[in-house]
Amino acid sequence: MKRKIAGFLFASILFSSPAFAQEDYTVQAGDSLWKISEKFSASVSEIKEANQLASESLSIGQKLVIPGSGKDSKEKKLAVVQAGNLNLRESSSLDSKVITMLHRGTSVEVLDKGEEWSKVKAGEEVGFVATEYLNFNREKASRSSNLLSERLRSITSDLIGIPYRYGGTTPKGFDCSGLTAYVMGELGVDLPRSSAEQFSVGTKVSKGDLVPGDLVFFDSLGKGDISHVGIYIGNNKMVHSATKKVEVSDLDWYFDHYPYYGAKRVFEFDS
């Protein structure tokens, strides 16, 4: 009898629990995982996991399952940093430790909005920021992100083909960190000179959550240190100053051939 009751209770719980909300989507021309994730408010990593994707490469007509996109799913609340530099703190107090600094225009996920302090997620970091320095207009956040992508494409397209030059920091010739410092400088962000120093600033970003403007870091010399940096531009591509010139490369090739140290979000753009 006890076994029957236990089985009945288990079955009742199983069939009365709501199914996970999801939606089917067919990949269109010009789609990328990042664009699809923005459209449905599901992270790139969630979409990849739901569809067992090994990379971000997509084919037109490909069928995808979008997790958490049904009517019962909870939409992420986004906000844009509208201060020049905003401290992300461990707790809701000016006396608490600063986790990192967020630049103007950075998009964050709002976990809990408060009158004075709000709990947010920026990249992989979770902490508290002053609510007055956040813009909660989701549509504006999306427009700001699109503006960054457009400006990034405009700047980097004119630099493709410029020869590699060790120590180079100008359009006469770039090394890898010279290129990233130059491009981010055009976007209003001052970066340290070397790739290792550049890795020490910004907010950590997981591989599955990369957006255009994020910096990606590798050990291209095989010496156990960061020795190469590029700028993610979407569609699993990065622009970087390679061994001979500035070019666009597929990230999967770099992931397969060099140790990957991670990504940092350091950009700022008009909000």
59 annotated active-site: no
Q: What is the rounded distance in angstroms from the CA atom of residue 187 to the CA atom of residue 270?
A: 9
Q: Which of 89, 151, 237, 240 is catalytic?
A: 240
In sequence order, what are the residues at sequence separation of 6 or more whose Cβ sits closer than 8 angstroms to the Cβ of residue 80? 105, 106, 107, 108, 134, 135, 137, 140, 141, 144, 271
Among 31, 271, 28, which Cα is nearest to 140's?
A: 271
Give yes or no: 106 in active site. no
Q: Which of 110, 121, 117 is nearest to 78 (CA)?
A: 110
Residues 6+ apart with CB under 8 A from 38: 142, 145
Q: Which position among 228, 237, 264, 265 bears the catalytic label?
A: 228
Q: Which residue out of 108, 148, 176, 183 is catalytically annotated?
A: 176
Active site (annotated) includes residue 240: yes
For 53, residues 6+ apart whose C-beta sits below 8 A from its C-beta are 33, 47
Catalytic residue IDs: 176, 228, 240
